[in-house]
Chains A and B, each alone.
Chain A
Amino acid sequence: MIRICTILLSFLIIISCTNDKNINNKAEQENKKSESLTLYTHRHYDSDKMIFKKFEEQTGIKINVVKANADELIQKMELEADQSPADLLITVDAGRLVRAKNKNLLQAANSELLSKVVPQHLKDSENYWYGLTKRARVIVYSKEKVNPEELSTYEDLINEKWRNKLLIRSSNNIYNQSLMASIISNNGKDSAKLWANRIVKNFARSPKGNDRDQVKAILAGEGEIGIINTYYLGKLLNSKDSCEIAAGESVGVFFPNQNDRGTHINISGIGVAKHSLNKDNAVKFIEYLVTKEVQEVFAKANYEYPVNPEAITSDLLKSWGEFKEDQLSLTKLGELNKEAVIIFDEVKWP
C-alpha cells in the first residue's frame, strides 16, 4: 500500500511539475514579448473566462487573472507600487474604481472608440475608468400580495404601509452602500438619515442572507417587498433547483423613481493600472470588452445590462421592460460611500 501510494504520489508530482514548467515557460516567453496582460479582477463568473479566452485566440495576447476582493486588490496594488504586475483592475462597483483613482493607482486611457461607445455617465470624466456592465437595484414584490401600483419610489418605502414587510440584506453589502450614497447625493444627508431610520422600522426581519434569500423569504411570506439587484433574479429563474425557480417566479420587478431621477444603477467597471507596461494592449482589451458581441454575452450569461447601447439584451432582461436610470455621476457613489456607512451605523442597520 505504501509503495502504491509512493508511486502514485511521484507520478502526480511529475505531472504537476511538467504542467507548471509549461505554464512558466510560456509565461516567461510571453512576458518577454510583452504579449500578456495581468488582470486584477473582482469578477468571478465562468462567462468571463470564455470572453478572455476568445480575446487570447483573436490577438495572441494572454490574459493572466488574479481574482480577489476589490479592496484587497487595491491594497495589493498600493503596496506593490511601481513593481506591480497588474495591467488592469476590474471591480464590481464604481466606488472602488473611484477609490483606486484617488489613490493614484490608475492612469487615463483615452480611446476614440471607448468615448464613443460608453455613455458619459458610465465612465470617469477623465477616462481613468469605464463601465462594462450595469446592475439595477430594484424593488421586487410578491405578485400575490402586492399591487405594483402601490409602489413608486425608494423614498416611498418608508411609508407605514410597509411596516414589517420590507426585506433587504445587511449594510455590509456594497450595493446597499451605493444605494444609500445615491440617496445622500440626491436628497441630502439629513433627509437620507431620516430615510434610513424609517426603513429600519419597516424591516420584516433583521437583515441576513444574500439577495437570493430575500426573494425566497418573499415566497415564504416573511415579507412582501424586497430590494435586490436584477441579475440575482435572473440567476434564480435559471437555477437548477425548482424551489428557487418558484421563488423567482413569485415576484415581480418594479423599477422605482421612474417619474423623477430614475432607478439607481451601479456598474462593474475597468481601469488601466498606473504602472502597467502594456498600456496599448490594455486599452485594446477594454475596447474588446465593450464590443457588441462581448456585451451580449454579459447580458445573456450573467443577466447584466450592457453599457454598449447597440448590444441587444437577453429576452429575460427585455421581459422586465425598459427603464429610466439615475444619471447621477458614479464618481459620487465612491465619494459618498463612507458617508453612507456612517449613516448605516448611526441608525443601527446591521
Chain B
Amino acid sequence: MVLKIKHLKRDFNKSSLLIVIISLLLAIPVFAILISLFKETGEMWEHITSYFLIDYIQNSIILLLGSGIICFVIGTSSAWVVSRYKFKGRKIIEWLLFMPLAIPSYIVAYSYVGLFGYGGSFIKFINYLGFNSIDNIEMMNIYGLVWVLSFSLYPYVYASTRLIFQSYPTRLKDTASLLGASKNKYFFKIALPLASPAIIGGLFLVFMEVLNDYGAAKYYGINTFTTGIFRTWTALEDLQSSIYLSAILVVLVFVLVLIVKWLRGRRSYNLKTYNSNDQDENYRKDLKGLKKIIFLTIVFVPVLFGFLFPFLQLIIWGLQTFESIFNSELLNIGIQTLFLGLSTSIITVFLATSLIYLSKWNYLKQLNITSKLATLGYVIPGAIIGIGVIKSSHSITEYFSTYHNIKIGYIIYNSILVLIYAYVFRFIAVAFNSIESNTLKLSKSLSEASNLLGFGKIKTFFKIDFPLIKNALLTSFILVFIDVIKELPLTLILKPYNLSTLAIKAYEYAEDERVAEAALPALFLIFIIGSMISVVNYRFKLNK
C-alpha cells in the first residue's frame, strides 16, 4: 500500500495534472448526463420499455451491423486499390472517394427518394429509355436506410485506412512474397491486420454517426434508438427518461471503447522505419485485363452511389430553384460557415493532440481513462448535448448572478463561445481516434532516442512526431471541419441569432418539405468541403 502511494507520488507529473483538467473540462456535459443514471427514471419509463424500446433497439442493431459491414468492405477495398495501384484518373477518384462526407446524410436520404421515388429523376430517365414498367424503387425502408447511411459514411473507414496502407514499406510485401505468401495471403494475413487500429477507428466513427442519425431515419419512417430518445422527450414529454436513455447509450459506447482497447492490448503496430525512398511512386502497380475492370468497379461504385447520384439530384433541384434561392445572404452565410468550421477544427485538433500526447507523457496510466471520457460526446445525440451544455453554462451564469450580482446570461446565451465549446466536445472523438491510431504506428524508441540525445518532450514532439503524424493531423482536421459545418441540432439550439450556417439553411427548407429549395445551400456546402479537401490534398501533399 505504502509502495503504491510512493509510486503514485513518483509518477505524478505536470502531464497527469493537465490531462485530468482538460478531460474533465471537456467531459462536463457527459457527467451532467451520466448523473441521471443515479436518479429515478421519468414517469413514462414503463410505457417506453413495454411498448417500443426493444423494437427501436433491434432497428438500431440492424442499422449498425448492416452499415458496419458495408462500410468495412467498401472502405478498405477502395483504400487498398487507390493506395496500391496505378490507373488513369486515380487522383480524382481518390478525392471523389472522400466526397460523400460532404453531403449531410439526411440530404442524401432525400435525394435518393428524389431519384428513385415516384416521378424521380432516375425513374424518368429509365422510362425514357423504354422501361415503362418501373415507376418506383422503394428506398424508404430499413434496407434503404442501411444503403444510404453506408454509402454516405464509408469515407470514415476509407480515410483512416488509406493513410495506413500508403505507409507500408515495399519491403513488407517483398518479405512476404519471399517467404512464399500469395498476394491474397499478404492482403488478408498482413496488410489488413496491420491496419486494424485504423479500420476500427473508422468503423467507430461510422457507428457513432449511425447512432446519431435522426433526419434520415425520421424521413424513412424507421424508428431507432435515437428517434426513440426524441420521441420520449418531445412527444411523451419526459426529458428525464430521454436523458436516461442517452446515458445508457453513453455507457454502452464506453464499454465498447474499453473492449476495443483491450483487444488491441499491448500489440505494437509500428513498422519500424519510415524511409522515404521506400515509398516512391514506383511501388504502385499497373492494372490489366479483367483485374483492371474489377478493381475500377471497386473504386467507382462507392463514388457513384455515395456521391455522384445524390450530387446529380441536388444539381437538378438547384437549377430548378436557383432564381428564388440564390442571393447575397447565402454567400454571407457561406463565409460564416467557413470560419466557424476553420476555427473550431483548429481548436479541436489541438486539444485532441494534447490529450494524446499528455497521456503518453503521463506515467499514471490509470488517469488515461479520463481522456477517453472526454471523447464520448460523439455518441450523444446533439440535442441532448445542447441541453447538457446549456445546463453547464446555466450554472456559470447562476454563480455570477448569486455571488457577484452580475447578470451575464444575456451575453452567454447569445455568444458563439458556447457553440464552439459544444462543437469541440461533440467532435473531439473524430480527431482523437484518427490521430491516436496513427501515433500507435510510431515506435516508442524514436522519441526515447530523441530524449536521450537531449531534446525535451515538447521539442521532440515538434521535431520528430509532428512531421510523422502531420498527415493524420490534416486528415482529422478535415474530418472535424466537415462534421462541424454539417452539424445541425447543436447549431440550431446554441447559435447566436446573428449567425447562420449552410446546414441550417438547408434544414429549414427541408423541414418545410421544400427539399428542392434545400439543394442550393447543400451544394454550396459540398463546394466548400470539396475545395477544402483538394487544397489540403494537393498543397500539403497528403498523398505522400
Which chain A residues have a beta carbon within 8 Å of chain B's beta carbons? Answer: 1-2, 5, 12-13, 15-16, 19-20, 23-24, 27, 38, 44-45, 64-69, 71-73, 75-76, 79-85, 99, 169-170, 172, 177, 206-213, 216-217, 219-220, 222, 232, 235, 239-241, 243-244, 246-247, 337-338, 341-342, 345-346, 350
Contact = CB atoms under 8 A, between A and B. Distances in A.
Interface string B229-242: 01101111101000
B140 A66 contact: no
B390 A79 contact: yes
Closest 5 CB pairs of A and B: A83-B409, A243-B119, A208-B221, A44-B508, A240-B320
Given A27-B498, A72-B383, A79-B391, 9 more contacts: A1-B539, A12-B338, A69-B492, A83-B409, A84-B409, A99-B237, A177-B235, A247-B118, A341-B236
A132 to B, nearest CB: 16
Nearest to A215: B118
B220 interface: yes
A209 B221 contact: yes
Interface in B313-334: 320-321, 332
B410 A64 contact: no
A23 B416 CA distance: 14
20 contacts: A5-B535, A16-B336, A66-B495, A69-B492, A72-B493, A80-B394, A81-B394, A83-B397, A85-B410, A85-B414, A206-B141, A208-B140, A208-B141, A210-B513, A219-B119, A235-B514, A240-B516, A243-B118, A243-B119, A342-B47
B117 interface: yes
A73 B47 CA distance: 26
B512 A45 contact: yes
A60 to B, nearest CB: 18
Nearest to A169: B221
Contacts of B508: 44, 67
B399 interface: no
- B interface, how many residues as a size bin? 35 or more
Contacts of B237: 99, 337-338
A341 B332 contact: no
Contacts of A13: 339
Given A80-B390, A212-B513, A232-B513, A172 B218 contact: yes
B227 interface: yes
Contacts, number: 150
Name, among A2, A5, A67, A212, the residue most crowded by chain B CB atoms within 10 Å (CB to CB).
Answer: A67
A250 to B, nearest CB: 11
A3 B275 CA distance: 30
B539 A80 contact: no
B304 interface: no
A206 B221 contact: yes
A241 B516 contact: yes
B320 A220 contact: no
B386 A85 contact: no
Interface string B263-300: 00000000000000000000000000000000000000
B135 interface: yes
Contacts of A212: 513
Contacts of A83: 397, 401, 407-410, 413
B502 to A, nearest CB: 14
Interface string B400-429: 010000011110011000000000000000
Nearest to A217: B118
Given A67-B508, A208-B221, A5 B539 contact: yes
